[in-house]
């Protein structure tokens, strides 16, 4: 049996995927459909996205979340989709919510533990943002694409260090006109079309790691 652990923030949780409930839900539904057609395909899918979470929160909960679910007979696949909250800048404090150094340290710590369970690890990078809606403080935070790119560089570097699968959804959104794929209320979370694109981008990598056609 395969088990997929999808760790992330509000985008993984499915925020603003009104019709689809988000890319992770679409992925679970797809895997369920494959199982219905072929009983040899059996997997449990855990959506472990928490709105607002950073890698600091991930470090605190990773071992407990996995310990409660992992069994020695499981074939585990880990998906990590973090960074948008870490890269939020706090103008009043003149710092990022999670510094770049701490971000890399947190990722490395979690991937070291995940790699002891499975070598099948996926890192999904950070989506672009609509700067017109995020360059001025909102809820005490600003988000700029230059910040996202810098943190994406760290994600890619850590993925290479652990020989993990790196999924560049940022570039996919840029090519497809990201402003139309994010909700107009905050220019940060994907709309239903955006979530579908994320699903379409992540799905083949998950299936490849599972060995499912």
User: Model confidence over 147-157: pLDDT tens digits?
Assistant: 999 999 999 99
Contacts of residue 85, Cβ cutoff 8 Å, sequence gap at least 6: 9, 52, 53, 54, 97, 98
Question: Which helix (H) or strand (E) covers residue 168, if one does?
Answer: none
Tell me the sheet residues that pair with 167.
124
The rounded radius of gyration (Å) of the Cα atoms in the chain is 17
Categorize the per-residue pLDDT at 72 as very low, low, confident or very high, splitting at 50, 70 and 90.
confident
Q: What is the CATH number of domain 2-210?
A: 3.40.50.1110
The three-class DSSP label of residue 123 is strand
Residue spans of the domains in the chain: they are 2-210
User: Model confidence over 80-122: pLDDT tens digits?
Assistant: 999 999 999 999 999 999 999 999 999 999 999 999 999 999 9
User: Model confidence over 162-195: pLDDT tens digits?
Assistant: 999 999 999 999 999 999 999 999 999 999 999 9
pTM for this model (two decimals): 0.97
Compute the average pLDDT of residues 122-147: 97
Contact call for residues 132 and 212 (beta carbons, < 8 A): no
pLDDT value of position 41: 92
pLDDT value of position 77: 97
User: Model confidence over 19-56: pLDDT tens digits?
Assistant: 999 999 999 999 999 999 998 899 999 999 999 999 99
pLDDT value of position 1: 87
pLDDT value of position 40: 87
Look at 13-17, 43-47, 69-73 and tell me which has the smallest mean pLDDT: 69-73
pLDDT value of position 39: 86
Q: Provide the percentage of residues in the chain whose pLDDT is more than 90.
A: 94
pLDDT value of position 105: 98
Burial tier of 200 (Cβ tally within 10 Å: 0-12, 13-18, 19+)? middle
Q: Is the pLDDT of residue 213 over 80?
A: no
């Amino acid at each position: 049996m395969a088990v997929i652990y999808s760790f992330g923030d509000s985008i993984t949780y499915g925020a603003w995927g009104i019709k689809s409930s988000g890319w992770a839900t679409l992925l679970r539904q797809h895997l369920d459909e494959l199982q219905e057609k072929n009983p040899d395909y059996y997997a449990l899918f855990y959506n472990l996205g928490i709105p607002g979470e950073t890698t600091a929160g991930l470090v605190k909960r990773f071992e407990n979340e996995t310990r409660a679910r992992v069994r020695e007979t499981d074939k585990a696949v880990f998906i990590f989709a973090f960074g948008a909250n870490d890269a939020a800048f706090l103008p009043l404090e003149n710092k990022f919510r999670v510094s770049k150094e701490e971000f890399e340290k947190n990722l490395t710590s979690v991937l070291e533990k995940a790699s002891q369970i499975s070598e099948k690890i996926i890192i999904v990078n950070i989506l672009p943002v609509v700067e017109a809606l995020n360059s001025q403080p909102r809820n005490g935070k600003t988000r700029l694409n230059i910040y996202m790119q810098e943190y994406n560089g760290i994600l890619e570097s850590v993925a290479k260090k652990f020989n993990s699968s790196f999924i560049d959804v940022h570039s996919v959104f840029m090519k497809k006109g990201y402003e139309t794929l994010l909700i107009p209320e905050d220019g940060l979370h994907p709309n239903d079309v955006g979530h579908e694109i994320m699903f379409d981008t992540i799905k083949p990598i998950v299936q490849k790691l599972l060995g499912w056609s």
